[in-house]
Amino acid sequence: MGQSVDWFVMLLTGALLLIWIYRALYNWLHAPPGMKRLRLGKGGEWSADEPSVHLLESNGYTVTSGKHRVPITIGWNGSRLQSRLYIDYVAERDGNVYVVKCARDRQPMDWTGSGMRDRLIAYALMLPESSGVLYVDAVERTVHEITFELGVSER
């Protein structure tokens, strides 16, 4: 009797394993093609003496990564153009990760929905696992948290 129970357990385990492998393979084959995910390293050096870093830390954020330069290749009419986006910092608070952009005198922010979308949505789309974008203005001593929800309409 003991040997038949052993065989039954082995067959059941084998069947469950085969079903699990089949489902994993099926899901992998039928999943939409993945995006090229951006993986940020540690970034450039930053100092706690920088006004933006000090402002973030005084508002409860922890800067975890310095400045990043993200190269972008753009195809245009058969030719290739080179560009880049800059992420000033990556910060965390309460387990949430944020992309940080600092205010620039030459590029004032348009605080309308379309202005924030045009200026900042690229950063939210580059790192979809982030909780939002922090816009830091060290001169005015403000930290704005901007989040984007795609496909949600309030009509």
- Give mean pLDDT in consecutive 10-residue pieces for the chain, a chain of 155 residues: 83 93 86 59 72 91 88 92 91 92 91 92 86 93 92 68
* pTM greater than 0.75 (yes/no): no
What single letter denotes the amino acid at residue 97?
V
pLDDT (0 to 100) of residue 146: 95
CB 99 within 8 A of CB 123: yes
CB 132 within 8 A of CB 100: no
d(CA 89, CA 99): 6
pLDDT (0 to 100) of residue 66: 85
Which long-range contacts (C-beta less than 8 Å, at least 24 apart) are formed by 1-9? none
